[in-house]
Structure formats: C-alpha cells, structure tokens
Structure 1
Amino acid sequence: MELVNNGVVLREDRNLLVVTHLSQYLDFITGFGGLIVPLVIWLTTKDSVIGMNEHGKSVINFQLTLILYLIIGIPGILLFGLGILVLIFAGILSIVMPAVNAIKASNGESPSYFGTLRFIS
C-alpha cells in the first residue's frame, strides 16, 4: 500500500519494522550494533515507511534506557549490592522486549517497551 503525502510516497513495510526491532539482538553478537543499526534504519526510512517513525523512536528510546540501566547498575553493585538486580532486569528486558515488539510490528500494532524512558518524543 502506498500513500502520497506532500510529494513523498509512503509505503507499508512491516518486514522492515520487524527487522528494526530484531536488529537490537546485534548487541549480543557484536556488542554494539543494537543501537547503531536501528538508528540508521530509522533515520533513513522514517519519512518513507508507514509507522517507522513511531517504531524507530521506540527502539532508540529502549536502547538508550538499557544503556542508562547499565550505567546505574554497574556502580550499584559496588555501592549497594542491588545493582545486580538492575542488571538482571535489563538483561531480561533486552531479550524479551525486542521479540515481543517484532511480533507486534508484524501484526500492525504499535510498539510498547516496558520500563522505557522517553528520550526522543
């Protein structure tokens, strides 16, 4: 499906939305790709794919929130010992939430990441 909006052709590409969510798993493979790849996909296709702006912002906000959890959790281990709980929470979220939201994207639903701070609105 294509829509024309101010001379820009918008297309519906649910597969690209799913790839955007699943590309967060690159953190487990390369250690750094989970933020860079979705950011590049979002910035290059946010004006041409229906729903990409919403999904891309959600992915970037989620990745930035995970980084913040790590920044808080690592010193929290030394200071209070409770930082390990923050790291376990972040680890579980980083495994479960991209898959859940990839399924939502394939069904045409809006993304919702639990525990995410909105850096980009």
Structure 2
Amino acid sequence: MSEFDNVTAPPPPPSTTEPAPSDQRTMALAAHLLGIFTWFIGPLIIWLVNKDDASKGFVNDQAKEALNFQITITIAFFICFLLTFVLIGALLMPLVGIVNLVFCIIAAVKSNNGEAYRYPFALRLVK
C-alpha cells in the first residue's frame, strides 16, 4: 500500500459527445467571471437558479466548480487576514488575489469554449 492510495482525485469533467449550447457556455463564463467581482455570491446565484434544470448540466457543473473555488479563496483571504497580525498575511493577500484573477480568467475562457474546467486546488464543498 503506497502513501498515495488515500489521495482522492478531483471528479472527472462531465462526458458529453456534443458541445454545450451557446447559452450554457455564456452562463458558465458568467459564473467564473462573477467570482472575480462578487466572490461566491455570483456563482451561488447562477448555481441556485440552474441546479434543478436537468438540461443545463454544463452550467450546473461549472457554477458549482466556480462556487467551490470562490469559497476556497474566501477561506484563504480570511487566513491571510489573520496572518496580517504577524505581517506575512500582508504579503500573501495580494498573491491570493492574483491567483483568483488568473484562474478565473482561465476557467472563463475554457468554459466559453465548451470545456469543463477544474480548478487545481479548490475545496469541493458543494457537490
């Protein structure tokens, strides 16, 4: 038994043979980009609106992914805020902001192309 047996991989992207419709790709793009400006509120609203519609699987998947990432970023900002009392948080907070910006833009471009994007280090709290 190796030390990597207990490590879980992120869920695979949904397998579809046909590309997602244009309106679903646009909503997925909006979910990722709204995360930059509204943190978890924008992706949460998009996910709540579309979660019960089975025909909008791509939007549901990408909104959940954006929501999970924004929750992770919120936790990281809170930890950075606590670490500002030791001065290292002031150095880490801009870094977390840049990571959020870069990964949200990459995710938005990928989802607009119809590809399901998985953030590399998001806590998957919403399933």
Q: TM-score, normalised by structure 1?
A: 0.74
Question: Mind listing any 5+ residue stretches in structure 1 that lack a counterpart?
Answer: 1-10, 27-32
| 2:67 maps to amino acid | I
| 1:40 maps to amino acid | I
Task: Choose between structure 1 and 2: higher strand proportion.
Answer: 1
| 1:51 maps to amino acid | F
**After TM superposition, where is structure 1 displaced by more than 4 Å over at least 4 residues in a row?**
none
Q: TM-score, normalised by structure 2?
A: 0.71
Q: Show the counterpart of 1:49.
A: 56
1 or 2 for the larger relative contact order (CA 8 Å, sep ≥6)?
Answer: 2
**Identity rate of aligned residues, in percent?**
31
Deviations 1:79-114 (A, max 9, x none): 3x3223431331111211111001110111111223
CA–CA distance in structure 2, aligned partners of residues 42 and 62 of structure 1? 13
CA–CA distance in structure 2, aligned partners of residues 100 and 84 of structure 1? 25
Q: Show the counterpart of 1:91.
A: 97
Q: Show the counterpart of 1:6.
A: none
CA–CA distance in structure 1, aligned partners of residues 41 and 82 of structure 2? 25
Question: What root-mean-square deviation, in Å, do the aligned CA atoms of Structure 1 and Structure 2 show?
Answer: 1.8
Question: Mind listing any 5+ residue stretches in structure 2 that lack a counterpart?
Answer: 1-19
1:38 and 1:56 in contact (8 A); partners too: yes
